Amino acid sequence: MSAQEPRTWQELLGQLIANPQERARLAATIRVKPITLQRWAVGDSRPRIDNIRLLIKNLPKESNPVFMSLLVADFPEALREDASEESVYQGIPAEFYARAMRNLALTSRAIYHQSMQDLILQQIIQHLDPDQQGISVSLAVCVPPRCGRKVRSLREVGGQATPPWPGNLTRRPMFLGSESLVGYTTTHAHSSVINSRDEQSLLAVQWTEYEESAAAFPILLHARIAGCLIVSSAHKHFFTKPRLAAIEDYAHLTACIFEQEETFDLKDIELGIMPPYAAQHPYFADYNRRVSQKLVEANTRGESLTVQQARQLVWQDIEEILLRVQRE
């Protein structure tokens, strides 16, 4: 190896940022100060993995292979992530489409909704986070309004995750309105992404525990909206273009869970503002009692009411309470 060849990624970085223009460009692109790049180059400080990820993506193309080969000694996980990113480019595996279509064809209607929901959420987790670095994936559906009214909120109906989140998020009911990323996505039928808590954005968002970046994609069926697919990461800048493209494909596939009557025209969406997530929890405490009470009251009146219909009535009641609480 000649004296001119870098022996470490720090030396290569130092050579690149010796050019003041390149130093300024890199610093601006990865959102650090130029002096920070110099400290990394001389070993005075160590970049976080999200900084390394951005460096990899923004270095001159001719320098990238050498930088990656030198980087492996200090950041082996960066190479694993790069390989994982390549696999994301391929989109949804064909074999999973076949499995989903078999589920659609062969699963009874009574259990199909939950079965397909679990199948798709599990696949998204495996596809986007095979090393379990920390993502959560959930579905939020439009809460059917009472007769003559418009859709005022969405409700999370299920989710799965990798650590630091618990694996099953189905026991975390939550209403979402215009104050949320999901609300914006639903109102405009357009995907929304915020790649860092520190990112300046006009989009409304309520960050939950562990979230460092978040994306929401509308679930559309015949140009009518059923809800949103929500993906959150425990890391900043998780949502690269390949990952977003894959999530969009999964959002389209998720539409096959829903019936036409579970979807709404955009003109029928008029979301209200929901209280912060933590403030909602007490209102779910007596949910099962409320459902039982609806069934008993219907029976007393001699009316026929299914459990599913009773649940919907209770969710509508809770929605109304939460909207009123937020207004007061």
Question: Residues 182-228: pLDDT tens digits?
Answer: 999 999 999 999 998 887 777 777 888 889 999 999 999 999 999 99
* Cis, peptide link before residue 164, omega less than 30° from 0: yes
Sheet strands side by side (includes 154-161) = 175-176, 154-161, 135-142, 224-233, 213-221, 192-194
Helix (H, G, I), strand (E, B) or coil at 225: strand
Residues 238 and 289 in one domain: no
What pLDDT does residue 262 have?
Answer: 95
Residues 159 and 187 in one domain: yes
Does 117 or 54 have the greater pLDDT score?
A: 117
Residue 139 lies in a domain: yes
Question: pLDDT confidence of 1, banded at 50, 70, 90?
Answer: very low
What pLDDT does residue 57 have?
Answer: 78
C-alpha 273/C-alpha 305 separation (Å) is 30
Residues 51 and 99 in one domain: no
Residues 30 and 99 in one domain: no
Residues 126 and 176 in one domain: yes
Residues 62 and 28 in one domain: yes
Residues 235 and 195 in one domain: yes
pLDDT digits (tens, 9 = 90+) for 60-112: 877 877 887 888 778 776 655 554 555 555 678 889 999 999 999 999 999 99
Q: For residue 226, what are the domain limits? A: 89-268
Residue 276 lies in a domain: no
- Is it the case that residue 313 has pLDDT exceeding 70? yes
Residue 208 makes CB contacts below 8 A (sequence gap 6+) with 232, 277
CATH number at residue 116: 3.30.450.40
Residues 50 and 93 in one domain: no
- Is it the case that residue 312 has pLDDT exceeding 90? yes
Rounded percentage of the chain residues whose pLDDT exceeds 70: 94
Q: Compute the average pLDDT of residues 298-309.
A: 90
- Separation in Å, CA 36 to CA 6, 24, 60, 70, 254: 20, 11, 19, 20, 43
Residue 145 lies in a domain: yes
Domain count, the chain: 3
Residue 257 makes CB contacts below 8 A (sequence gap 6+) with 112, 113, 116, 117, 120, 226
What pLDDT does residue 84 have?
Answer: 52
Task: Provide the mean pLDDT of the chain.
Answer: 88
Decide: pTM greater than 0.85.
no
Residue 286 lies in a domain: yes
Nearest by Cα to 55 from 90, 95, 12, 19: 12
